[in-house]
Structures are given as structure tokens and as C-alpha cells.
Structure 1
Amino acid sequence: MNYGKGRSAIKVNIPTRSILFQAIRKKFAQGHGFALATLNLDHLTKLPVDNAFAQAYRAQDLVVADGRPIVWLAQLAGKKLELMPGSDLVLPLTELAADMDMPVALVGSSNAALAGAKSAMEARVPNVNIVLCHAPPYGFDPEGSDAAAICDMLNASGARLCFIALGAPKQELFAAFARSRCEAVGFASIGAGLDFLSGHQTRAPKIMRALALEWLWRALQSPKRMIPRYAKCFAILPSLAANAWGQR
């Protein structure tokens, strides 16, 4: 399923969770790295106006659907996609890494959030090996000298899976930058996933997620930041729906 047009068009190339985990298990076994992105409507508002972000997205190896509108648009195009929010992938990916003895790194957010996430992950997945926690400084350039230094840290640590919690577009930019510098590392961009796990942010209740109302919960929690974002998302839906119907 393709979303958008022209240079900003992005393809969701992993339709189900089982296919995703088969692909990652194979890459771990072969010693190959990867970059995993979770596409949502906010990303689709940024891609047409941010060429660097679009280039970084095209460098991702694995792209899944994060957000029900992405799944609904696929259905409109006659395709089936499974919903895979980045936050829901953190613990399953941690379990897979632990089962295959793949060391894990946490990059992004804050030192306090990373410490909390590390404790939560170790409590839930006792055999996980977390070898690096690093919170970049404010104003972090995901393609600059600080990013190169993190790549050196990752290579020295022996990490094979790196969760990036920087938000879009920084996390995808960093994943694309680091992908060729850390050839054995798999990068998973998971947004607020570590903050949710550590308790530094509160995720929408399960009933709101089940009713596809997580966006409303987030808007109520942070209206000044989220309401303009969601307004942009709603504004692009008609053109995305027309494009999806054209792919049917």
C-alpha cells in the first residue's frame, strides 16, 4: 500500500506482525541491521514538506502501519494491514531480542525516562541484556557529530537492537544516518514508547484505544501541541482517501 504521491510517497511493506517478526528474526540470525519505521498520519503531513524526512523514510527497511487511519486507508484500497503502533512493539521486540541473545540499547527521551524504561523492561523480560542507555542533549542533530558519537557507542556496546525514542522526524533521520554506520544494529523508531513504559507519559486507556479514540486522549492531555497537529492530519484525509480509492 502506497501513501502519498511523488517523492513523498511511502509504502507500508510489512502488512502483519508475524511477517515483521519473521523478518527481524532472520536479520538477527544473519547479523544484519535494519531500520523500522511506524507510519502514521502525522508523518504523512510532514513528508511532502520535509525532503530530508522523506529521504530518511525511504531509507527505512521495514515500514508498518501505526494508527487506525493508515489501516482504514489500506482497506479503502482493497488491502489488509495489521495495526502495529510503535509503543505496542517495544516489549515484544525486547522479548525477541532476549530470546536470541541480542543486546539492547535505548536512545532518546530523558535520562530519567530511560532509567525507568530499563527497569520496566528488565522486570518484564528478565533475561534481556540492556547494554546502553543514552539521552541526547537538547537540540540534538540526528545527522551531526553527536549522532556519530552515538553510533560509536552503539558499536562499542555490542547492541543489536536499538530503540529510538526521539519523535518524528528526528528518530527516522537518526535511524537512516546510523543504519550504514552500525551495520549489525536494528533500529526501531518507537516515539513515546519508552516514556509510556517508564510511566513518564500516560497512554490512553485500553477502551479509548479499542474505540480508535487515542488521538482524543492525547489532544486532551496536551491541547496546545496536539490539536494543531491533528487538524493538519484531518485536513489531508480527503486527498489520501482519493489516492487510496485510486489504488483499489
Structure 2
Amino acid sequence: MRINICGVEIDKYSFAEVTSQIVNHAISRSQPEYVVTPNAMHILTLQKDAYFREIYRQAFLVVPDGVSLLWAAKFLQTPLNGRVNGTDLFEKLCAVAAEKGLKIFLLGGRPGAADQAKQKLKARHPNLLIVGTYCPPYGFENQPEELAAINSNIKAASPDILFVGLGAPKQEKWIAQNYQELEVPISIGIGVSFELVADMVTRAPIWMQKSGLEWLFRLIVEPSRLWKRYILGNPTFIWLVLKQRFQTLMLN
């Protein structure tokens, strides 16, 4: 079952249910699928990007990465079953992959992030099969030879789960354009998760994550990169949610 937040359909599954569905699909090696992890900024981008919306519509799972989505769902009286944070999901799936013998590939991140994340994850899970990492150069999406080389590397490695850290909506658009050809059972866009796991970017304390203040911590850590996203984006998201609630009340 999915619920509607500002015109975007979000799955109601818990973190454990999402993990289980992804792992089961990866083990079955059935037709390739992909997972998207929306937050408030994704919701705003989806309002004006029809192609991005179509990618979301066809996703295997659409899971709530941002606490703001949980608040919005509760306010709209269609509560979700908890947060499915992209970085937490990445780490949990790697832990399960190590137990189940699933192969993973890390694509994206800033230079060195995927390799450092691999080292950290292998230290925690010695049995983890990371069959490849690759950091494409800036502007790779406009370089046919580079795009072909990426696909060739991934297909040769034949992972069960592909984690893509290119930032939204670039990572989702790349996945949508390539997942069928790659034939990887599950592809997931996870933003800056490689950097967070590699300790290249400091993650907010647990209390800030749970209280919905992770955005504020990230804004303090990277103000020049994120000020527009949060200072301008958050009020716009709140307005969209208020508008949806008002429209629902009017219909009832």
C-alpha cells in the first residue's frame, strides 16, 4: 500500500520489511528493479520534473528517507510505518549481503568515497563481497564512451545489488536509463551515503536524526552547498503539505 504526499506515492513498509523485500528480490535474481529514497527535496523536484515523476511511478519501492515525510504523512492523517533512511538501509543491506553471500557494487560518490566506504564495510563484514567500485568523472552523463565503460564494468562484475551515489535526480535518472541493460536485480540511489560511511562527511548525532534535525546539522556542516536546499526548500515543502491537507478537508 502507498500513501500520497504532495502527489508522490510512498510505500508504507517498515525498515525491516523494506530490507526483507530487497534481499528476497536480490536472492531470486528475477527481473531487474530499482528503489528510490525520497526526502522533502525530492518531493519538490518531482513537482516540476515529469520524467523524474515517471521514474518514481515505476520504482519497485519508494521509501521515506526524510523525517519530514513522516511528519507530513501524520499531519495528512495517513501515517507511515517509520523512516527508511538511505544510509541506514545501505549499511543494513551490506550486513545482510555478507551473511547471504550477495555481491554488491558501489558507483558514484566524490573521489575516493566508494573505496573508503568499501574498506570500512569490509572491516565490519569480512565476508562482504564488494565486486566493484567506480567514481565516474564530472559530466560523465554526457560522455557516451564513459557511460558504455561504466555499464561494461558493472555487467562484468554481475552484482546482486547496485548502490548508486550520484545525488538526486541524477542517480535516479541514470538508474532508470540503465537498469534493464545492466540486469542487476536491485539498484538503489543513496545520495551521500558513501561519504557518510567513509567518514568523509560527518553524520548528525542520533538524537538529531530521530528528532528530524539532521537537515540542520548538514546545513551547519556544509552551508555553501546546502543553504538553498533547506532555507528555501523547507518552507515550500511545508506549504505544499498544508495545501494538500486543506484540499482534502474541502473534499470531505
Is the TM-score greater than 0.5? yes
Q: CA deviation at 1:140?
A: 2.3
Q: CA deviation at 1:22?
A: 2.3
C-alpha distance in 1 between matches for 2:125 and 2:136: 25
CA RMSD of superposed structures (Å): 2.1
Structure 2 counterpart of 1:162, which letter? L
Partner of 1:106: 106
C-alpha distance in 2 between matches for 1:159 and 1:17: 23
Report the number of matched residues. 244
Structure 2 residue ranges without an equivalent (≥5)? none
Within-5 A mapping of 1:10-89? 10-32=8-30, 33-81=32-80, 82-89=82-89
Within-5 A mapping of 1:140-155? 140-141=140-141, 145-155=145-155
C-alpha distance in 1 between matches for 2:225 and 2:240: 24
Partner of 2:212: 212
Structure 1 residue ranges without an equivalent (≥5)? none
Native 8 Å contact 1:65 1:84 kept in 2: yes
Structure 2 counterpart of 1:15, which letter? Y
Within-5 A mapping of 1:146-225? 146-225=146-225
C-alpha distance in 2 between matches for 1:130 and 1:120: 12
Structure 1 counterpart of 2:14, which letter? T
Structure 2 counterpart of 1:99, which letter? E
C-alpha distance in 1 between matches for 2:140 and 2:146: 7
Identity %, equivalent residues: 29
C-alpha distance in 2 between matches for 1:237 and 1:14: 21
C-alpha distance in 2 between matches for 1:244 and 1:175: 33
Native 8 Å contact 1:142 1:171 kept in 2: no
Structure 1 counterpart of 2:72, which letter? L
Partner of 1:2: 4
C-alpha distance in 1 between matches for 2:88 and 2:142: 24
Q: CA deviation at 1:126?
A: 1.4
C-alpha distance in 2 between matches for 1:35 and 1:148: 20
Q: CA deviation at 1:229?
A: 0.9
C-alpha distance in 2 between matches for 1:132 and 1:237: 40
C-alpha distance in 2 between matches for 1:14 and 1:119: 33
Q: CA deviation at 1:134?
A: 0.4
Structure 1 counterpart of 2:68, which letter? P
C-alpha distance in 1 between matches for 2:146 and 2:235: 35
- Give the SS at the match of 2:11: coil
- Give the SS at the match of 1:203: coil
C-alpha distance in 2 between matches for 1:67 and 1:131: 30
- Stretch deviating more after TM superposition (10-19 or 37-46): 10-19
Q: CA deviation at 1:221?
A: 1.6
C-alpha distance in 2 between matches for 1:142 and 1:176: 16
> Which structure 1 residue ranges, 4+ long, deviate > 4 Å from structure 2?
142-145
Q: CA deviation at 1:15?
A: 2.3
Distance 1:149 1:10, change over 3 A: farther
Native 8 Å contact 2:23 2:93 kept in 1: no
Structure 1 counterpart of 2:200, which letter? H
Structure 2 counterpart of 1:233, which letter? N
Q: CA deviation at 1:99?
A: 2.0
C-alpha distance in 2 between matches for 1:237 and 1:148: 41
Structure 2 counterpart of 1:13, which letter? D
Q: CA deviation at 1:235?
A: 1.7
Distance 1:144 1:132, change over 3 A: same
C-alpha distance in 2 between matches for 1:16 and 1:2: 16
Distance 1:156 1:142, change over 3 A: farther
- Stretch deviating more after TM superposition (140-149 or 193-202): 140-149
- Give the SS at the match of 1:118: helix
